[in-house]
């Protein structure tokens, strides 16, 4: 069973930065496209970003583009989310998910990001 | 900007059938949006039930089915069970480079 483990969340002041990581327990990680999805407190799911197999294709939610950057290291089976200029409204749980032909088939447990002074 | 719409809440009796829908504020949902349905229970990450309109994800019971009904995507639960309670989200591929979730439907089984 493929497992995803997110890390890197925590408390950060407004304007600060965090780098989230998601390690996938799958030796053929490069066959997965990857997404980051977030959930604000008490709210629904929000798609954040996508990265293709080799990292050449990257797409972002329009509201987040410019502050967030997705990347991956296939040698480490890891996808990253660099978040800059964080705001209180970015507070929430951040999930990573695998994507195989339009199927978000595996999800991590999420990592909590809190933006607060 | 186009928004993905879902019923805020729905209730179904145990053993009953319920159909949740996923639409757009502008336009119709079709298979080209690759509709995905996810279930989330409290404290848990989402779980994908249906992808690409009507394909069940691995391990999902066949009482969950997806379709296009009119101008919306639909998730039908046949023979609802108590542990089907939770939040259900629709996800659409708006174009090759953007995904969008609906606001979610809270399903109560009682």
Chain A residue with minimum CA distance to B4: A46
- Judge whether A51 and A68 are in contact, CB under 8 Å: no
Mean pLDDT of A67-85: 97
Instruction: Categorise residue B53: left if φ over 0, alpha if ψ from -120 to 50, beta otherwise.
Output: left
* Lowest model confidence (mean pLDDT) among A25-29, B22-26, B60-64: A25-29
Instruction: Look at A103 and B57 and tell me if their CB atoms are within 8 Å.
Output: yes
* Nearest partner of B12 among B106, B89, B103, judged by Cα: B106
Cα–Cα distance measured from residue A16 to residue A62, given in angstroms and rounded to the nearest whole number: 20
Instruction: Look at B52 and A103 and tell me if their CB atoms are within 8 Å.
Output: yes
- Is it the case that residue A60 has pLDDT exceeding 90? yes
- Is it the case that residue A1 has pLDDT exceeding 90? no
* Chain A residue numbers touching B36 (CB-CB < 8 A): 102-104
What are the phi and psi torsion angles at A74 (to 5°)? Answer: -65, -25
Q: What is the least distance, in Å, from the CA of A13 to any CA of chain B? A: 25
A42 touches chain B (CB under 8 A): no
Cα–Cα distance measured from residue A94 to residue A46, given in angstroms and rounded to the nearest whole number: 9
Residue B78, classified by CB atoms within 10 Å of its CB into exposed (0-12), middle (13-18) or buried (19+), is middle
- Is it the case that residue B10 has pLDDT exceeding 90? yes
* Chain B residue numbers touching A48 (CB-CB < 8 A): none
The pLDDT value recorded for residue B95 is 79
Instruction: Look at B51 and A104 and tell me if their CB atoms are within 8 Å.
Output: yes
Strands A33-39 and A92-99: antiparallel
- Is it the case that residue B44 has pLDDT exceeding 80? yes
**B37 DSSP β-pair partners:** B50, B90
Tracing tokens 């009904």 back to the chain, one arrives at B69
The pLDDT value recorded for residue A101 is 86
Mean pLDDT of A83-98: 97
Query: pLDDT class for B97, splitting at 50, 70, 90?
Result: confident
Instruction: Please report the sign of the dihedral spanned by the C-alpha atoms of residue A34, residue A38, residue B11, residue B19.
Output: negative
The pLDDT value recorded for residue A83 is 98
Chain A residue with minimum CA distance to B103: A44
What are the phi and psi torsion angles at B22 (to 5°)? Answer: -140, 115
Query: pLDDT class for A22, splitting at 50, 70, 90?
Result: very high
Q: What is the least distance, in Å, from the CA of B55 to any CA of chain A? A: 9
Task: Give the best residue of A3, A32, A57, A102 to mutate against chain B (max B CB count within 10 A).
Answer: A102
Instruction: Look at B89 and A45 and tell me if their CB atoms are within 8 Å.
Output: yes
Instruction: Look at A107 and B91 and tell me if their CB atoms are within 8 Å.
Output: no
Query: pLDDT class for A46, splitting at 50, 70, 90?
Result: very high
SS3 at position A82: strand
Mean pLDDT of B5-19: 97
Cα–Cα distance measured from residue A54 to residue A110, given in angstroms and rounded to the nearest whole number: 23
Averaged pLDDT score across all residues of chain A: 95
Query: pLDDT class for A52, splitting at 50, 70, 90?
Result: very high
Mean pLDDT of A43-55: 95
Strands A111-115 and A78-83: unpaired
Query: pLDDT class for B36, splitting at 50, 70, 90?
Result: very high
């Amino acid at each position: 069973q493929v497992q995803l483990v997110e890390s890197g969340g925590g408390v950060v002041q407004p304007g600060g930065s965090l780098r989230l990581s998601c390690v996938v327990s799958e030796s053929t990680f490069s066959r997965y496209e990857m997404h980051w999805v977030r959930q604000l407190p008490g709210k629904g799911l929000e798609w954040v970003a996508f990265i293709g197999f080799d990292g050449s294709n990257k797409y972002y939610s329009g509201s987040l583009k410019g502050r967030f950057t997705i990347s991956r290291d296939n040698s480490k089976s890891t996808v990253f989310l660099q978040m800059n200029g964080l705001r209180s409204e970015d507070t929430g749980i951040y999930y990573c998910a695998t994507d195989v032909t339009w199927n978000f088939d595996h999800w991590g447990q999420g990592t909590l990001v809190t933006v607060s002074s | 900007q186009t928004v993905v719409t879902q019923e805020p809440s729905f209730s179904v009796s145990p053993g009953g059938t319920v159909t949740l829908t996923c639409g757009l504020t502008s336009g119709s949902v079709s298979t080209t949006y690759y509709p995905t349905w996810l279930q989330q229970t409290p404290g848990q990450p989402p779980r994908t039930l249906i992808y690409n309109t009507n394909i069940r994800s691995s391990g999902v019971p066949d009482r969950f089915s997806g379709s296009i009904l009119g101008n919306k995507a639909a998730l039908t639960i046949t023979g609802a069970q108590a542990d089907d309670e939770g939040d259900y989200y629709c996800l659409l591929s708006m174009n090759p480079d953007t995904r969008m979730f609906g606001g979610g439907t809270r399903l109560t089984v009682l």
